[in-house]
Structures are given as C-alpha cells and as structure tokens.
Amino acid sequence: MQFHEHPHEHPHHHEHEHVLDRRSALRLGGLGLGGLLLAACVPSKSAISSTSTELLASSTTATTATADVASTIASSTSAAASQATTSSTAAATVLNTLPGFDEFASTVKVFASGDYWQVESNGLPSHNMMVGITSWQQQVPLAMTYKGSNAWQLPKQPALADNPVSAKTSLFRGAIALAVNGVPIFNALNNRGEDAFLVGELDKWGGHCGRADDYHYHVAPLHLATIVGSAKPIAYALDGFAIYGSTEPDGSTMKKLDEYNGHVGTEGVYHYHGTTTYPYINGGMRGVIRGVVGDQVDPQPSTKPLRTAGAPLQGATITNFSSPKTGQYALEYSQSGKTGLVEYTVSDAAVAFTFTSPTGAVTTEKYTR
C-alpha cells in the first residue's frame, strides 16, 4: 500500500484577525485568477488541460514514501439511523451518475461498478494553481493517473456509521473526499496536526502539491459552487455522502452542522457542507468506510513520485503559475525581494526541469516517466 505524505516542515504562525479576508478569497478564487488556466485543463480551452492526456502517461518507477504507521483500524460498522439510511439507499438506486461531476464530464469520467462509483481523472483543475502559497515544499503540479484499478471509489449507497472516524485525530494522510472536478481533498490538518490553510501552505483556491507533485485541496473548493450551482454537490466524501457549498441544496441558509460538518437534510439524507472555518470540509468519515490503513482511508488511489520530494524554501511566496505552450509550465516565486523560476516540460517519456534561483543560478534535472 502506498501512502500520500505531506511533511510541510514550516513553523509559520498567522494571526487570526487576517483569516477572514483570505478565506473569502477562497470562495471567489475560481472566478478571477482561476481563468488563467481555465483553458489549460480542458483540451478545447487551455494549455494545461490540452496536455492532460500526455500527463496521464505511465508513472516513473519511483515509489511513494510510506508512513511509519502501518496498523489497520477496523472499518466503521454499517448500522445507520433508519430514516437516513433508507432515504440514502433509495436516492442511490435511481442515479445513473453522481450530480456535480457531470459539469466536468470532459475531464472526469464516472461509471458504476458493483457497489461503487468509479471516478477517473488526472487530478488537475481547470482553474489556476499554486499562486499565493507562502509555505512551499518546491513541488509543482503534475497530472496523476487516477484511472482503472487506481480510480477513486465512492459507495453507491452510503450509510451512517456507528463509529465515525474523526479527522481531528486520524486520517492525516491521503484524501478524505473528492471534488467534482476530479481533484482530491485532504484533511484540513497536515500530518503534523496544523491547519494547512492558516500556516500558508495553500494557494488561492485552497490547494497545493504533495510529495508526488500531486495537486489536491485541503479546504472546501467553495468556488466550484459557481459552476455546479447550489443544488449539486461540490464534492463527495470517501464514505459516499455528498458535500454541498455554503447553502442548502434548495438555496436556503445552511442549517446547524454537527462536528463532522454535516447534518440530515430535508429529504432525510445526510450530507456535509463546505465552510470557511475549520473543519472547512467533511470533518472525518461520518459514514461507513471499509477501513483505515496507515492513517488514511482505504482503499484509495496511490501516487508515484518521479523525483525526490523538495525541501521547504524559507521566505518564498509563489507569485505566478502559467503554461506558455502545450506541455510547458512556469512557476515564479519571490524570495528576499528577488524572483526565482521553475520551468518544466512534460512529454510521454520524461519531465525536464530548469531551476533559476533568485540569485541567477541555473540547474537542470530530467526524470524518465
């Protein structure tokens, strides 16, 4: 089993009085700067997405670093509140696909397989990425192969668990949800128990890249509600329950939430909500899951890094990310008043990097895929 790791060794401290302004930016992020790469993740619209297919080529032989913790926590029992379970089952049996994903059908594939929905994507969003990060591990976005046996799996008939799993004390590795644009969502707390948003690890859209250069969110992508609308989920927890935006599906004011950021809706079906305060997304697994292994929900797709994970770059702030040509990417950052640059080119066979430090030093690296 391969686990996602995100050490993010950054002892940054942020005053709480500044939190609300930045959180508000997360809601609107998909509308402004996100347009820089809107065409980039959809072949007919942008350079980043036009290369999504080639980025889905087979991964390198390097393996993901595994966690020291290898114990298995028994999966949550499937006894649910009768009304919620019955309604949830009835809703699932009439669905031909999962609402929300249909808005991203050009880059995300959803199909039924037994008791689960299989979701395939390359993990790259149509909005811009990385801009605004002030605590950076020197990772950059690369497409992942969330496909076939490595696809995401969501229960078709979710049920409330007798013994939910809290994200406050567990699930510090790997994803706990999947956004409807195919981007994974990790615990709001990093694997040191710190709020990833408050310590500056996230971009203006609530995401960053992990040790495998895999892009993912750590907070609710509330900006997706401007695309899917209030009636459709912006994400799904890995227990199968839907995650809506900051209003109820009917557009009314969000009702009181439980400790997992969810509640039973007017139709008797449990669902979660995204919020601008902790836990931001689902606060754990309120529903039944098959198990927890190595402190992450199991099963879930694995990622395979093609290079050694980067080290923290102290004092760096990412100022721009772009795709000047198909298969070519550029990330700019500032450090001590000077500009650094990471340029990389992706092909079916390799990924070639050129690093220009703020002092002007240039180094190159190439990795076979």
* Residue 99 token pair: 């609402």
Residue 87: DSSP 8-state = H
* Residue 77 token pair: 């029992």
Contact 327, 345 (CB under 8 A): yes
Phi-psi category of 260—alpha, beta or left, where left has phi over 0 and alpha has psi -120 to 50? alpha
Predicted local distance difference test score (pLDDT) of residue 92 = 37
Predicted local distance difference test score (pLDDT) of residue 95 = 61
Per DSSP (E only), the strands in 307-349 are 317-325, 328-335, 338-346
pLDDT along the chain (369 residues), means of 10: 42 38 45 37 37 37 36 35 37 67 97 96 97 97 97 97 97 97 97 94 98 97 98 98 97 97 96 98 98 96 94 96 95 97 96 98 96
Backbone angles phi, psi at 273, to 5 degrees: -135, 150
Sequence-ordered list of residues with C-beta below 8 angstroms from that of 147, at least 6 positions apart, any chain: 56, 120
Contact 56, 50 (CB under 8 A): no
Predicted local distance difference test score (pLDDT) of residue 114 = 95
User: What distances in angstroms separate CA 266 from CA 4, 93, 222, 275, one per listed residue?
Assistant: 36, 19, 22, 19
Predicted local distance difference test score (pLDDT) of residue 96 = 72
Predicted local distance difference test score (pLDDT) of residue 245 = 98
Predicted local distance difference test score (pLDDT) of residue 22 = 46
Predicted local distance difference test score (pLDDT) of residue 57 = 37
User: What distances in angstroms separate CA 198 from CA 49, 118, 221, one per listed residue?
Assistant: 30, 33, 16
Predicted local distance difference test score (pLDDT) of residue 336 = 95
Break the chain into its structural domains and give their ranges. 16-309
* Residue 52 token pair: 């999504």
Nearest to 216 by CA among 6, 30, 60: 6
Residue 39: DSSP 8-state = G
Pairing outcome for strands 328-335 and 338-346? antiparallel
Predicted local distance difference test score (pLDDT) of residue 180 = 98
Rounded Cα gap, residues 178 and 219, in angstroms: 11
Contact 100, 302 (CB under 8 A): no
